[in-house]
Each structure stands twice: as structure tokens, then as C-alpha cells.
A and B are shown apart, each in its own frame.
Chain A
Amino acid sequence: MSSAGTLHGDAAARDPHTPLPTLDRPDDYLHAQSTLRSWFLTTDHKRIALLYLASITAFFVIGAVAAGFVRLALVVPDGAIMTNDTYNKAFTIHGVVMVWFFLIPSIPATFGNFLIPLMIGAKDLAFPKLNLTSWYIFMTGALFTLVAVVLGGVDTGWTFYAPLSTAFSNTWVLPALIGVTIVGFSSILTGLNFVVTIHTMRAPGMTWFRLPIFVWTHYATSLIFLLATPVITLALILLIAERAFHVGVFDPAYGGDPVLFQHLFWFYSHPAVYIMVLPGMGVISEIVPAFAQKKLFGYRFVAYAAIGLASVTFFVWGHHMFVNGQSDLASLAFSALSFAVAVPSAVKVYNWTATIHKGSLRLDTPMLYAMGYIGLFVLGGLTGLYLATLAINQHIHATYFVVAHFHYIMVGGTVLAFLGGLHFWWPKITGRMYSEPWGRISALFIFIGFNVTFFPQFILGYLGMPRRYATYPPEFQLLNVLSSAGSTILAAGYLFPMVYLVYSLWFGRRASANPWDAKGLEWETASPPPPHNFAGVPQVPKVPYDYPIQAPETGSHHT
């Protein structure tokens, strides 16, 4: 701590151990109050975002450790490292924690919470107390799930398919189900808060088509939160009732149908993919124009594409059930609709690429993550088309091809966008700059580590290795060892930011209000922002993404 004083003359003012006159205390949202109570009972959207950031980082670590165990077990083909039971529990913990407690809340609950009021020029979300309540609901749900893990784990996979989860599993399914049900309410309330905020709290002059794409994608995400989450809540309530009281809805002996659970489950969980992906697309749509110093290409199309994705996604859930006895006609319809998803996705990718084209490019850390995102998202998206094709799906259904595909979207997409956003807005959130060289090195580690981990899984899946087995034929060992080796590179890439970002909190260079020369209302206020975000009512620019270089490049044309 003492070295801080030598690095920066006023750094001691940030040291909580040094008593200082109140006059010297900075009046930004981080320092305005410093009691524990002022954090745990805060209604400031920025502080709640940080509560979420701390909790989801903890869950990310838990989920990543479980993934490490899975990759460790798969180094040998004969299951010598882990028994079937332990292996089942490891991949279930990994899936449950990563999907329900990291990916779904990740960008919306942290950056969405932090940035939406700033970007639309509001003092807070519409319902600040409800916002805090959703964090407590989230933590309550997490507690139930962690209890299930501590008591001995769950072996059903994150999908909780009946009848394994209702009649056959002898593990702690009930507390895990209750936990996941509770977490759903946290999502619903966050989505509700965003929808109402975006509708009613925009600053004067902030029309819908002056909103940053980040806000558009969060609006689309929130609609999915509102329309899809209640259905999984119901499905999980029925599943809990089935396991606890043998209600019979998913039991053929009483006229029920286990496939009905899959329908209800995927009616939520496919749209949930877009809960995880859309906010990331919002982040990329902010980073790319800022680091190309160029106006976002096709703003309206990118905005419409977000709403388009959020709509089409409700009609493709059947593609998870191509081999479950669904009628051929239904499969055909779901296949065609799944292809339709590629259109708005491609619109976004083309628009980002066109924005980069002839821009004045800076390859700083956030941009490296954004470029990585675009590449990996394209790969993940294109392999999704393979899976949407009925004939090919028969061959690669429930293989590592699927595992690789959704990791390209979830990790290559969402996690990279999350990290890109974290680096992009870190100066705004904390008022400090992180180490740029370390940022670039970690981005590179993550990109390489990710590809070494997951690309072999495409090949494994194509060759027929099924997912969720602790053992595999010996001829697959080489690719599995390669994948496990890649995961250690990936792990290193994740560890670096945890160190240098925390380090920057005390020793990082002070950030200016707008260190990236980015456009958007969040860069107009101080870093970190004052408790109510803006000194006065912010002046909304006439055009969003008003960067020096126009898109398309018309030369003299200026709006």
C-alpha cells in the first residue's frame, strides 16, 4: 500500500486505511459512501452491477474448476482418473453453474445494469429497490444450488431431463432445481426493470433510433427474459412436483410424457441462448466503432437484427429434439426456422466487418477481444447450420460436435464479449487503467487456448464421440489430450486479468472521462461517474456513433 503513495501523489487518498478529512474524499459512486451497509443495501445501479460482477466472477471460477476436472478426466480413455459418477457430477456442476449462474446474468446484470441508465441519460433504473432485490434473489438461488453441490452434487446434466431427474437420479436434484427456479425470478425482474427503464427513462431527445445498439440488444434480451423465463419456471415447478410428489406429468405410466419436459425446457432454453448472445453483440457493437473510430455501419439494420433474433428464437426450440420422435413435418419446420436465425446473425457480422473496413484501427485489448469474438462467432454460427440440417444432425446429434458448436458461441462469443466489455468499460467503472500489454497478452492466450481446446472437439464429434461419457475409444485420445492441453492455456488467459485488473484498482493509472475517444453518453460523465450519473440533464447527440469516419465511406458526406 505504501508504494502507492510514491507512484501517485494522491493514491493514498484511495487507501481505506488512511483516515482523511471528508473534504478530500472523491465524490464518485465508489467513494461517496464506504460502509458495508452502503454496498449491500445500495440502490445505485452501478454498485448493484459490481455486486453482480463479484458474484458471477466467483461462479465463473467454480464452473471453470469443474470444467478443469472434466478435461482432466478425459485425458485417459478408460475412465481411470474419474468414476462415471464423479464425471457426471463434474460436467453437471460445470453446466449448471456456467449457464444459470454465469452466462445468463453475465453481461446484462453487470454491464447492462451499469450502462443502460448511463447510455440513455437517466439517473438510475426505473426500480432501484427491485434491482437490489433481484441480486438477493440471485444469491438465494445460488445458495440452494451450492448446497446441492456441497452435499454431494447432481448428475443429471444442466438440462435436468425427465425421467432421469424425476425418477432415477439418486443425487441432490431437488435443491438444485429449486435454486435454478429461484434464479429465474432474478432474471425476470432484471428484464422487467430494463424494459421499463428503456421505455420511460430516456433523456429528452434520446429517441429510439438514437439509442446505442447495446441498449437495443438489452431491450431484445429483456423481452426474452420476460416471455421465456416464466415457461421454464413452470417447467421446473412441474419437475419439482414430479420428483417430490409423483404428479405424473412427465411419467408415461400416468399418461404423462417426458418429451413434454423437453418442449417446455427448450421453449425457454433456446431463447436463453440469445439471452447469452445478444448482450455480447451489444458489447461488440460498441467496441468496434470506438476502435475503428468509424460510425457503425447500418445502424438500423443492426438494431432490427437484434429484435429479429429475439423473435425468431422463440420458434426454433424443436431443433434440440430432431432425434426424439418428433414428427418429420415438425422437424422440417424447425430446421427451416433454424436456418432463418442465420440471417439476422449474419447481418450483424457483416455490419461489424463493414465498420472495420477502412476504419482507423487501434488494436487495443477490447478490440482484440472483439475481433476474436467475430471470428469465433462466425465459426460457431456456421457449425450451427450443420446442426440445423436434418440429415447431418442425425449423424452428429449429442456428439462433441454439438459441444464444440455451443462453446464457440457461449465462450468464443459471450465470454469474449464479456471480457472485451470488461476491459472497454473498466476505466469508466473503476476510474483506473489496466496494464495494456498484459491485456493484449491475455486476449491472445484466451484466443489460442480456446481454439486448441474446442476445435479438436469438432473433429471428435464428427468422428462420432458422444458427449457426457467418462470413457471413449482409445483412438480418440490424441485429440482429447490436445483439447485438455488447450484448456490449460485458456485457464492461464483467464487468470491474468483477475490479477492485473485487481492490481489496477490500486496501482493503475487514473482514467480520464473518455480514454478511448468513444462516443456515447456514458463517456460524457466522469470516470467513475458520480452517484446520480450526470451533473445535469445530459445533451443527447443527434446521431448515434458520431465518429469521425462515416459509414459507408462517402467522403465529404456529413450528417
Chain B
Amino acid sequence: MSADVTGANPAADPVGVTRAEHFATVGQQRHAATLGMWAWLLTELLLFAGLFLTALILRLLHPEAVQAAAGHLKFWIGATNTVVLLCSSLTMSAAIELSRLGWQRMMVGCLLATASLGALFLMLKGYEYYADYEEHMMPFLARRPYALAEQPATRLFVNLYYVATALHALHLFTGIAILLGITWKASRPGFLQRHQNWIEVYGLYWHFIDLIWIIAFPVLYVVNR
């Protein structure tokens, strides 16, 4: 019990968690929050797993068509975005470490850097979509001619590329919005005494979005390139 009440006395410790009424101990509350996020990430993993499985089956069924279509994806934008997200995970990890140390100002800086890198990813992704549009690589647009119309299976792969990347971008967009909300709260005095574990729990989600991209990038852009 005594080990569980970390931060019960805010004056003594600059870092801690305020116990919510329905939890018996702070340790229980921290455990619940972390486990809850892991459980959520498990569902997210299964959501994307179905998509990647579909993409992989497609590669097995129609290797040439998929290769032709994958060649039109902007490899270097994708690669740059991979680096951008990896950097954002680095700043997120730094924010978690800093939150444990109680260095609030630097932590807020790292959180802002993380959000900015996330936004940079989305901007690059948006530019990539624009370039795809210019190249007539948007088969789902009924009125716009499609560049690889003679190979029907390419259409399916390119469309799946949009579903997968859009679903990832939606997660990232939501992630940035939540991150900005947390950053705003985290910039207030005493935040780390009350809600330090928010940063750790949120960090799990951010790393997960990163991980999904690390799987999506090779599955869509790299294999058989």
C-alpha cells in the first residue's frame, strides 16, 4: 500500500498522480490507465491487421498489377514521412522522460515538437495526395480519368492505399488534436503533480501510430518496388 501512494503528498514530490475518487490507490489508478491504453491499442492493431492482410493477399493474387501501381507511389515522400514520424516518437519519448523528472517547461517543448512533426507528416501526406491527383492516380473519383485504367487490379490496390493511409492520417490527426489538448493542460502549474501518467499513457498511443506507419510503409511502398 505504501508503495502505491506515490505522489499522494504533492508538496513533497514534484511528480505524481492525484487519486480519482473511485480508485482505492494511486497505483491501481496508474495500472488501470496504462492497461486501458494497451487494450485500446490491441483493438487498433486488429483494425489495421485486417487491412494489411487484405493488401498482402492482393499482392499474392495480382503481383504484376500491384507492382505497376506501387511504382506510382511517391517513395521519397513516404520515406521522408517515416523519418518525420520516427523523430516525433523520439521527442515523445523525451517528453515522457522529462515528465518523470518533473522538468515541465522542457516537457511542454517536446510535446509541441511532437505535435509539429505530426503536422508536418500530414502536410507532406496532403502534398502527396495532391501529386497523386495530378497524375490521375485517384481511381475512386468517378469523373476523373484514371492513369492505369487498363489494369483493373491496380485500381483496387491504389484505392486500398487511400483507405489505409487515410485511416492512418485520421488517427494521426486525432492524435495531434488530443496532444494539443494535453499540452495546453500540461503547461499549467502543478500539472505533473496531478496527472504525470497522462503523458506516459498518451505516449503509448503516439508510438502506436508511428508503428502502424512503419508497417504500412513497406507493405504499400517498398515490397516488390
List A residues at the B interface (Cβ < 8 Å). 122-124, 126-128, 130, 188, 192-193, 195-197, 199-201, 226-231, 233-235, 237-238, 241, 245-249, 251, 253-256, 260, 264, 532, 537
Which residues of chain B are near A260, meaning CB under 8 Å? 54, 57
Question: Could you say which of A193, A237, A255 contacts B152, with CB atoms under 8 Å apart?
Answer: A255
Q: Which segment of B43-51, B188-196, B206-214 sits at the interface?
A: B43-51
Which one, B9-17, B31-39, B175-183, is touching chain A? B31-39
Closest residue of chain A to B167 (Cβ to Cβ) is: A237
A-B contact pairs, 9 of them (CB 8 A): A123-B22, A192-B40, A196-B39, A199-B32, A201-B28, A230-B46, A238-B54, A255-B61, A532-B22
From known contacts A126-B32, A226-B42, A255-B61, infer whether A247 and B51 are also in contact, taking CB-CB under 8 Å.
Answer: no
Chain A residues lying within 8 Å of B160, measured Cβ to Cβ, are: 247, 249
Q: Are B47 and A255 in contact (CB under 8 A)?
A: no
CA distance A196 to B28 in the complex (A): 10
Complex contact A241–B156 (CB within 8 A): no
B220 touches A (CB below 8 Å): no
Contact present for A188 and B156 (CB under 8 Å): no
Closest Cβ of chain B to A251, distance in Å, is 8
Cα–Cα, bound, A499→B167 (Å) = 47
Q: A234-B47, A255-B58 are in contact. Are A196 and B36 (CB under 8 A)?
A: yes
Q: Are B22 and A230 in contact, CB atoms less than 8 angstroms apart?
A: no
Whether B22 and A192, one on each chain, are in contact in the complex, defined by CB atoms closer than 8 angstroms, is: no
B12 to chain A minimum Cβ distance, whole angstroms, is 25
Question: Which positions 45-87 of chain B face chain A at CB distance < 8 Å?
Answer: 45-51, 54, 57-58, 61-62, 65
Shortest distance in angstroms between B1's beta carbon and chain A's nearest beta carbon? 9
Residues of A within 8 A of B23 (CB): 123, 126, 201
CA distance A126 to B22 in the complex (A): 8
Q: Which residues of B contact A247 (CB under 8 A)?
A: 140, 156, 159-160, 163
Specify which of A192, A228, A229 is in contact with B36 (CB 8 Å cutoff).
Answer: A192
Contacts of B54 in A (CB 8 A): 238, 249, 260
- Are B43's CB and A188's CB within 8 A? yes
Given the complex of chains A and B, what is the CA–CA distance between A265 and B61 in angstroms?
A: 21
The answer to whether B42 and A200 have CB atoms under 8 Å apart is no
- Chain B interface size, under 10 / 10 to 19 / 20 to 34 / 35 or more: 35 or more
**New contact pairs (12) apart from A128-B22, A238-B51, CB-CB < 8 Å:** A197-B32, A200-B32, A226-B39, A237-B167, A241-B163, A245-B159, A247-B140, A247-B159, A251-B156, A255-B61, A255-B65, A260-B57
Residues of A within 8 A of B50 (CB): 230-231, 234-235, 264
Instruction: Identify which of A124, A197, A255 contacts B156 (C-beta below 8 A).
Output: A255
Q: Contacts of A249 on B, CB cut-off 8 Å?
A: 54, 156, 159-160
Q: Which residues of B contact A123 (CB under 8 A)?
A: 21-23
Q: How far is the CA of A238 from the CA of B50 in the complex (A)?
A: 10
- Known: A237-B163, A255-B156. Contact between A246 and B32, CB under 8 A? no
B46 touches A231 (CB 8 A): yes
Chain B residues within 8 Å of A264, by CB: 50
B220 to chain A minimum Cβ distance, whole angstroms, is 15
Most A-side CB within 10 Å, residue of B40, B43, B51 = B43
Q: Is B3 an interface residue (CB 8 A)?
A: no
Q: Which residue of the partner chain, among A188, A196, A234, A248, contacts B159 with CB atoms under 8 Å?
A: A248
Q: Tell me, in angstroms, the Cα distance from A366 to B167 when the chains sit together.
A: 47
A233 touches B36 (CB 8 A): no
Hey, which chain B residues are within 8 Å of A130, CB to CB? 36
* Interface contact B47-A195, CB-CB below 8 Å: no
| Minimum C-beta distance from A9 to chain B (A) | 35
CA distance A114 to B57 in the complex (A): 44
Which 4 A-B pairs have CB atoms at the shortest separation, nearest pair first? A255-B153, A230-B47, A245-B140, A124-B22
- Cβ of B153: which chain A residues have Cβ within 8 Å of it? 254-255
CB distance from A240 to the nearest CB of B (A): 10
Query: B152 contacts A229, CB within 8 Å?
Result: no
Q: When chains A and B are docked, how far (Å) is the Cα of A231 from the Cα of B65? A: 26
Q: Which B residues lie within 8 Å of A537 (CB)?
A: 24
Do A241 and B159 form a contact, CB below 8 Å, given A123-B21, A231-B50? yes
Q: How far is the CB of A287 from chain B (nearest CB, A)?
A: 28
Question: Are the CB atoms of A122 and B156 closer together than 8 Å?
Answer: no
Contact B65 A199 (CB under 8 A): no
Q: Are B44 and A230 in contact (CB under 8 A)?
A: yes
- Enumerate chain B residues within 8 angstroms of A241, measured Cβ to Cβ: 140, 159, 163
- In angstroms, Cα B28 to Cα A537, docked, is 15
Chain B residues in 8 Å Cβ range of A256: 156
Residues of A with C-beta under 8 A to B45 = 230
Complex CA gap A260/B60 in Å reads 14
In contact, A127 and B32 (Cβ under 8 angstroms): yes
User: What chain A residues lie within 8 Å of B163 (beta carbons)?
Assistant: 237-238, 241, 247
Question: Smallest distance from the beta carbon of A452 to chain B beta carbons, Å?
Answer: 42
Contact A246 B36 (CB under 8 A): no
User: Which residues on the A side are within 8 Å of B44 (C-beta)?
Assistant: 230
**A254 near B47: Cβ-Cβ < 8 Å:** no
Give the shortest distance, in Å, between B204 (CB) and chain A (any CB).
14
B58 touches A195 (CB 8 A): no
Q: Which A residues lie within 8 Å of B49 (CB)?
A: 231
